[in-house]
Structure 1
């Protein structure tokens, strides 16, 4: 199917919505995520359904079909490999890579993407902990829990820090929390890492995921 940045952005957003929770995205949520008028989103969703990329009933949630999922996974693979490349090879901070990757994901060739993947050792996760789909569109995930939902005393590995808010990313990094660190929940605003209690900004409760 011909490349279309607009279609890819829709499919990426739908795909990403259910990566870390199970509720399907609604048209109003999709419009809010994309910053578009609901009428524009309704029109595009109808076009995506006609191309067998999504399933949707009026006023109901939207789901990717298998062709839609594979196309979304392909563009997300590009985005997350580029983010990883920028951090590892060019010294970008993890709060700086999203916008660069948004531009580059539509510009690099498949050959260059394969070269990046090989050079990086075929990473399975990006700097924020999001899974990088493989060339077949498959991903590896483990059971997870959002920090806000984790009970006091829960011990797990930091799986992901959302890249939605760069300020939260910077605050989490400044606090010394890294993806992959073992942590015990003291409360929704505090993690014990090693022998240190790490205070987090309030917004981190909805931005940090731990292994379940």
Structure 2
């Protein structure tokens, strides 16, 4: 069964909104995520239901099926592999790759993706720290906490970001908070939750709660 690029985008959104298929999502949630009208969403959900990649139960919302999960994970896998390729091989900045990968993820060639994965030496994470599903759809998770949840004197390593918008990534580049940086919380302001952190034992940064809640850390 083939899916259109739009159908793949909807499935990917439903997968993320449902926390990997663990919960139901509403039509309004999908409309907000896809930035479209509820009527358009309803029409697309009907098509996806006919292809048996989602199930809809009145009053309970919709859920992605096992088949739908496989399609969603394939699309996510392709997207994240292309992001790695663009950053590592074509010297794109991490804030430049999302839109290009959005186009490349819809290429339907399993052999191309297998060879891309091999060429990149089977990366486990994309440039934003998100795990890359393997060819069987398995995802390697690792325990992470939001930076704003850490306490004074706790240490860790920045491993991912929740907000992958270009503006946010450019801000992190500007202040020197990058994937892989070692950090220590020096102070936490009770009034607004802002943080003072030490990066790589040499640079002190002050971060608002809005910024720190979008940075994910592997605690040490």
- Confirm or deny a common fold (TM above 0.5): yes
Q: How many residues align?
A: 211
Point out where structure 1 has 5 or more consecutive residues left out of the alignment.
Answer: none
Q: 2: CA distance between counterparts of 1:124 and 1:179?
A: 14
RMSD over equivalenced CA pairs, Å: 2.4
Q: 2: CA distance between counterparts of 1:56 and 1:85?
A: 37
Question: 1:16 maps to what in 2?
Answer: 16
Question: 2:191 maps to what in 1?
Answer: none
Question: 1:136 maps to what in 2?
Answer: 136
Q: Would you say 1:207 and 2:214 are equivalent positions?
A: yes
Q: 2: CA distance between counterparts of 1:2 and 1:197?
A: 51
SS of 1:90's partner is coil
Question: 1:38 maps to what in 2?
Answer: 38
Aligned pairs for 1:63-212 within 5 A: 63-107=63-107, 109-185=109-185, 186-187=187-188, 188-195=194-201, 196-200=203-207, 203-211=210-218
* Stretch deviating more after TM superposition (4-13 or 152-161): 152-161
Q: 2: CA distance between counterparts of 1:76 and 1:144?
A: 20
Point out where structure 2 has 5 or more consecutive residues left out of the alignment.
Answer: 189-193
Q: 1: CA distance between counterparts of 2:9 and 2:50?
A: 17
Cα 1:99–1:148, aligned 2, differ >3 Å: closer, same or farther?
Answer: same
Query: Shift in Å at residue 189 of structure 1?
Result: 4.2
Query: Shift in Å at residue 203 of structure 1?
Result: 3.5
SS of 1:184's partner is strand
- The normalised TM-score by structure 1 is 0.87
